[in-house]
Structure 1
Amino acid sequence: MKNLTIQARLTLTMIFLGILLTMSVALGIFGMMQMDASAKDVGLSSLPAVYALGISDRSMNRARILLDHYALDRDNPAATGIRAKAFESLTDSDGWYRKYDDIPRDGDEDILAKTAVDARTQLRKSIEGFAAAIDRRDQTAIVRFAGEAVPTAYERASTAMRKLEDYQLEDAMRQNRENDRRFATLRLIYLSVLVGGVAAAALGWWFLRRAIMTPLAMALDHFAHISEGDLSQTITINSVCDSARPYLSAEYFDA
């Protein structure tokens, strides 16, 4: 270090500070990219999935309730409209489930989704059988569908869809926990870089002061003595770098 020129010392100091700055910016960009990806996944996957599943479940339940009303008042002139609304709700439920189905998912969720599809298929068959029994006025079948087949199929389908909703919510919570950990890690890194930067700046100031200001002050002191005609001062040269040039000049005058 003693033989480094002032320019080299300044260059090394600037390079080190530049590396710290680059690391800070790179880590900041990396952290923002990770959190942005997580936010997009929640906004474009988890929330739309939960919303679609919720509406699909409600529409499915509405279809079941409307058919119950249809069975209780089959001879009412408005009964045909109730039946149509029931199947319209069932179609809406299928449509919202397809919207959920279009959202990308992982392998674990896909297993749950297949269970939900099977349960929904069974529910549709039960509802169609229930409607057909009402149309035939088959009281025995109506009682069986209304009291057992449809409620059981609906409960199975609803449970399967709730598991999908719970999976999405848990995934969103998991990503939130990961974001918290990323934030804590990046905060620790930034604080470390900040402390390191302050320490590096202080150390750089100390080295540059030692390399430039101290020798320059001593050289000026020697020149002051020389200007006063005092040539008795001893000059000690510890290096041959740029900061030693004033000493060499002073030594030349002493000679």
Structure 2
Amino acid sequence: MASDDHTADTTVSLEDDSELARVVEENDAELAELLRLLLTAEDLAGDLTPELREAVHENREPLAELRVAFEREETLTLLRKVGDETDTLVELLDVLAVSKDLTDDLVPELLVAVRENRETVERLRGSLEDEATLILLERLGDNADTLAELLDLLDATHDLATELVPELQAVARDNRDVIREFRMAVAGFTDVHGERDVDMYQLGRNAGNMVATVETLGDPKVTAALDATVEGFAREDPEPVGVLGLVRALFDADVRRALGRLVAAARALGRADLGED
């Protein structure tokens, strides 16, 4: 029984060997090429192995530092951020590519523009290198804060003017007749000034004196006195007064007080400088 099993195994082995031989014979060309490549790879490995060992030996410390750098948390965090922002990075690369193409298109045009405007650029350079220009730039730098405040003020003024212009236009439209009359009054004043050669300083002093006089006339005492005088003149059919009536009136306190005020006014009028020679 054992002999039959051995015979069967031998038969199967012979069949496998014949099949293997047949497959090797059918692919002998590919097998030969593969063996040639293996020999070439072995020779190449034999040549490169000493170089690789020497390179690894010489760069052991940089490789160790690189390994440490890659194993650092900051590097891992950076790589993680790059991975998270992959889409943005791709868009930036696309933008850079477009910018490069745009630059390639513009550079020749810029070179032509510079070549054609070389004289103008040289004059501009001379102007910028002038001492006065440098002083101006230094002053602008020293007063940068003030300049910024003025720009803010101009911006606010522009906004205010933008808001007020419609209102001013409406006011001017509603008061067109008044403005026209005021212009006529100014024109008349100008004509009189030209004809009479008015001293504006003296006119201002006279106007100030008139204001002072009006202020004095507005005093309650003066107003009360004027009211009383007007009331006395406004009475209808006053009683006639003869010589004896005048004498008796002199004994009246109110009459004596009124006469005292008249005398004081006459004295003040006499002392006033009215410009008479």
The bucket for the TM-score relative to the shorter chain is under 0.3
**TM-score, L = length of structure 1:** 0.23
Q: Which has the higher contact order (CA 8 A, sep 6+)?
A: 1
